[in-house]
């Protein structure tokens, strides 16, 4: 059944027991995102060490796809540099939108591949992307601020 491709075991796991839930104190980046279409909300708190994402947590409410996507995302980006994460965001977007990408990029997504099924459910793409778009917003705000300070 196609539904099982969407709701893979690993997604259900992350929905049931989301990783990195609850907001960090002393975050360097705090950013909120909303999906106006369905009312899903997310807040991210990111601790940076230089250009590396040292820690990241989230809070919010939403459907299984949006919550699992957020949880998987926090696991994946921890320890990565901002540049790496930005590349990852675009790779992830390509996957859920069902766009072509290089095999290397795809393989690099690892557990995130569990969300590949979303591409077959156009109305759910926004759910999978909420955390990622919010992350991108937070990173860009931070980079702009930095550029402004220089």
Verify binding: residue 51, other proteins, rule CB under 8 A.
no
What is d(CA 91, CA 128) in angstroms, rounded to the nearest whole number? 13
- With CB under 8 A as the contact rule, the residue among 10, 23, 52, 63 that binds other proteins is 63
Long-range contacts of residues 91-95, Cβ cutoff 8 Å, at least 24 apart: 92/132, 93/129, 93/132, 95/119
**Spatial separation of the C-alpha atoms in residues 20 and 131, rounded to whole Å:** 13
**Gap between the Cα atoms of 86 and 25, Å rounded:** 24
R_g (Cα) of the chain, nearest Å? 15
Interface residue with other proteins among 16, 30, 49, 145 (CB under 8 A) is 16
Three-state DSSP state, 81:
strand
Residues between 109 and 148 with contacts to other proteins, criterion CB under 8 A: 121, 123-124, 127
Q: How far is 63 from 115, CA to CA, in rounded Å?
A: 14
> Closest distance between other proteins and the C-beta of residue 21, in Å?
15
Nearer to other proteins, 5 or 101 (CB): 5
Least Å distance, CB 62 to other proteins, is 7
**To the nearest whole angstrom, how small is the minimum distance from the Cβ of residue 137 to other proteins?**
20
CB of 102 to other proteins, least distance (A): 30
Which residue, 41 or 101, is less far from other proteins as judged by CB? 41
Q: Segment contacting other proteins (CB under 8 A): 33-41, 45-53, 84-92, 103-111?
A: 33-41
């Amino acid at each position: 059944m196609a539904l099982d491709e969407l709701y893979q075991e690993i997604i259900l796991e992350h929905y049931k027991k989301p990783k990195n839930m609850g907001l960090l104190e002393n975050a360097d980046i705090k950013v909120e995102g909303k999906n106006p279409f369905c009312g899903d909300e997310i807040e991210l708190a990111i601790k940076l060490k230089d250009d590396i994402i040292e820690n990241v947590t989230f809070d919010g409410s939403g459907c299984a796809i949006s919550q699992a996507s957020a949880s998987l995302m926090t696991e994946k980006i921890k320890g990565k540099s901002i540049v790496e994460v930005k590349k990852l965001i675009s790779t992830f977007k390509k996957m859920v939108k069902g766009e072509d990408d290089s095999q290397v990029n795809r393989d690099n997504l690892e557990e995130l591949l569990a969300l590949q099924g979303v591409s077959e459910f156009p109305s759910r793409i926004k759910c999978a992307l909420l955390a990622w778009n919010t992350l991108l917003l937070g990173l860009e705000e931070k980079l702009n601020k930095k550029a402004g300070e220089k």
